[in-house]
Amino acid sequence: MLSSALRTSLRRAATTQTSTPVRALTTWAQIEMGPPDAILGITEAFKRDGDARKMNLGVGAYRTDEGKPYVLGAVRKAEEALLAKRLDKEYLPITGLAKFTGAAAELAYGADSAALGRVAITQTISGTGALRVGGAFLQRFYKAQQTVYLPTPSWGNHAAVFRDCGLKVASYRYYDAATRGLNLGAMLDDLRALPRGSIVLLHACAHNPTGVDPTPAQWQQIQSVVEEREHLAFFDMAYQGFASGDADRDAAALRAFVAAGKTPVVLSQSFAKNMGLYGERVGTFSIVGVDAAERDRLLSQIKILVRPLYSNPPINGARIAAEVLNNAPLRTEWLGEVKQMADRIIGMRTALRSRLEELGSAHSWNHITDQIGMFCYTGLKPEQVDRLAKDFHIYLTRDGRVSVAGITTANVNYLAESIHSVTKN
């Protein structure tokens, strides 16, 4: 039991606390609510939908033919091998795990590339982190130009990443809405018209969001103009092996630029898609130097940039990737699994186009199979996309981009019939 005096004291304290005005915390009052992420909004709408036929075609992550997330067998085996080693959790060096970055460089540039001995490479927090480190490096050291030119359209995060590095962002023409293919003539005209020495971002393969890649012959023309204008080629390679099923074929454009040696080349590389290491955040940023001495100078400055950003990268995903890339049987298994994933995507493209044609659509759907990689730029208008969500429970971004990985043999016909319904009039 509390004494009478103690009860009175507590009542007075409570009265004093509730009657004293609390100073309004206005420090952050001027900050406005930021716009929601477009992909997150799609996912939330999908989750709220109770219809059994619902489809989420907005998320850029691979799914099995059962619509489930997929952990590659080679990755599982690598994890088991690493667990058996009972490794420590010590910090990595600033530039990451050397066994990983060395193998990643060989995968990107080719095991027989003469440039390997002069590539300055650092492990990064996946492809986004690679872009950020690359942007920071160019902002600090590439004084010839401070504008990054992106293809129209490009991955939605490109502009934000480079602007946050202090670089300006502009664009060059790329996609032809009329043909749903590459507007090569306009692209070359724009590249020629850019200030000499401009920073030109190039999707190495599986262009996101359009799925429209140049042919080998078209790449030669692009390379010729970039070299003629002495532009810096910033390759973003997020889908090596995942586009065509052949890692060497998907890296052909990058390797051709490097082999010619006529223009500066930097590279952002990700293992989210091709190794399924989405949440592990595994990537690299690299610069091709002229010799080993320049490589060392470049790497010293990359370290200075990385140190205040995140000190050093995470270890687990890099160990997994290194185990897969450096273990011959696991590497072979992994490359086979990447091809299986690519082949499933290609198969879903064929099935979707075939069913649309069977339905007697008046539109041409050739672009579905002409495009490559995880995404298909369907050409659907925003109001058609809205109707797909409202009437058919199919969710995708309003620019008409479809994540082909979300299509399965069980739902491809329903998707085709729904697209036909919203486009036939």
Question: What pLDDT is recorded for position 367?
Answer: 95
Per-residue three-class SS string for the chain: CCCHHHHHHHHHHHHHHHHCCCCCCCCCCCCCCCCCCHHHHHHHHHHHCCCCCCEECCCCCCECCCCCECCCHHHHHHHHHHHHHCCCCCCCCCCCCHHHHHHHHHHHHCCCCCCHHHEEEEEEEHHHHHHHHHHHHHHHHCCCCCEEEEEECCCCCHHHHHHHCCCEEEEEECEECCCCEECHHHHHHHHHHCCCCCEEEEECCCCCCCCCCCCHHHHHHHHHHHHHCCCEEEEEECCCCCCCCCHHHHCHHHHHHHHHCCCCEEEEEECCCCCCCCCCCEEEEEEECCCHHHHHHHHHHHHHHHHHHHCCCCCHHHHHHHHHHHCHHHHHHHHHHHHHHHHHHHHHHHHHHHHHHHCCCCCCCHHHHHCCCCEEECCCCHHHHHHHHHHHCEECCCCCEEEHHHCCCCCHHHHHHHHHHHHCC
Please give the average pLDDT of every successive group of 10 residues along the chain, which has 425 residues. Answer: 53 53 72 85 91 92 93 97 96 98 98 96 98 98 96 95 98 95 97 98 96 97 98 97 94 98 97 96 98 98 97 97 98 96 96 96 94 94 96 94 95 97 90
Question: What pLDDT is recorded for position 9?
Answer: 55
Question: What pLDDT is recorded for position 37?
Answer: 81
Question: What pLDDT is recorded for position 40?
Answer: 80
Question: What pLDDT is recorded for position 39?
Answer: 79
Question: What pLDDT is recorded for position 4?
Answer: 58
Question: What pLDDT is recorded for position 8?
Answer: 54
Question: What pLDDT is recorded for position 41?
Answer: 84
User: What pTM does this model have?
Assistant: 0.90
What residues are labeled active site? 155, 236, 273
Question: What pLDDT is recorded for position 24?
Answer: 60
